[in-house]
Amino acid sequence: MKKARLFTLAILLAAAAGPLQAQSFLAGIGVDFVRHDRAFLDLRAAYLKPINPDVELTLGGSFAIVTEKKDGRVEPDFFIPLDGGVIFLFPVNETFAYQFGLGVTVQFLLQNPNRFYAGPYLGLGVRFGVHPYMEWYIEGRQDLIFGEPEWIDTSTRLSTGVVFKL
């Protein structure tokens, strides 16, 4: 009976992975200036799906942290943005392309008190081909975020990393 359940689960997972064909994955590191009052160290990952030549759908997120000493103890604050959008590539040659992206971001700032933000983002960057299956990227993003306490604010994200093309 357990083997039948495992076999069924394996088939369901394989069927769910079908849309992941011809994809790319992005891994990066950077800095987030949330509301421009502190700099968070950011680790980023995203799934990129080509939807047309030189157009990619992106779904991803980041985990960012900043620490502060309070009363002799180190206290962390966490920032978790989740993003979905479209990236337009403008190739100059086979190994260099400009990129322009836009989309929606949902952001969780875990501190005391916790905050939630949401809004659109706009990104600009470049990609350098360093291997047939790898590109190095540099990107800057500007977020227009809505949420307490100011209700309208901005944040900036700068990152670099690798796009793994499969």
**Per-residue pLDDT reduced to its tens digit, 51-103:** 998 999 999 999 999 998 888 899 899 999 999 999 999 999 989 999 999 99
* CATH architecture for the domain at 22-165: Beta Barrel (2.40)
> Can you say how many angstroms the Cα of residue 60 is from the centroid of all Cα atoms in its chain?
4
Averaged pLDDT score across all residues of the chain:
87
Residue 95 pLDDT = 92
pTM of the model as a whole: 0.80
Share of the chain above pLDDT 70, in %: 87
Domain boundaries, the chain: 22-165
> Residue 113: what pLDDT?
85
- From the number of C-beta atoms within 10 Å of its C-beta (0-12, 13-18, 19+), residue 108 rates as middle
pLDDT recorded at residue 149? 83
| Least confident segment among 70-79, 115-124, 137-146 | 70-79
CA distance 22 to 49: 7
| The pair of three-digit structure tokens given for residue 72, joined into one six-digit string | 């002799």
Of the given ranges (81-90, 109-118, 121-130, 134-143), which has the lowest mean pLDDT? 109-118
- Report the C-alpha dihedral over residues 146, 149, 152, 153, rounded to 10 degrees: -90
CB 64 within 8 A of CB 82: no
At 21 the three-state DSSP class reads coil
